Amino acid sequence: MTQAIILRHIALHDFKKDFKDLTQTTPTPLPEYKTACGGVLKDPKNYPSAMYRGEQIYFCTRACLRVFNQDPDLFMAGEVEHPLEEDDT
């Protein structure tokens, strides 16, 4: 009889632990979007972007997008200097 009580206690303990593990949720991290120059954006909707080799590429500024559009391959290879100032176009 004592062994049966001990086994029930162990089973109940394991059930509670498993149930607790199942009901605990970890928050899903928000996706991060990398910019062409290595920055990270949480919400890219307010940033300029372009398609490059089938992938959406984001830019910190419109000036970077403008320079990217002049020669995308050189820009992505890091061979083009990123503009330091924003332009209004």
HEC states along 26-83?
CCCCCCCEEECCCCEECCHHHCCEEEECCEEEECCCHHHHHHHHHCHHHHHCCCCCCC
Taking the domains of the chain in order of start, what are their residue ranges?
2-76
Contact indicator for 68, 57 with CB cutoff of 8 Å: yes
The percent of residues in the chain predicted with pLDDT above 90, rounded, is 26
Contact indicator for 83, 64 with CB cutoff of 8 Å: yes
pLDDT digits (tens, 9 = 90+) for 38-61: 888 888 888 999 999 998 999 988
Contact indicator for 37, 50 with CB cutoff of 8 Å: no
Q: What is the pTM of this model?
A: 0.59
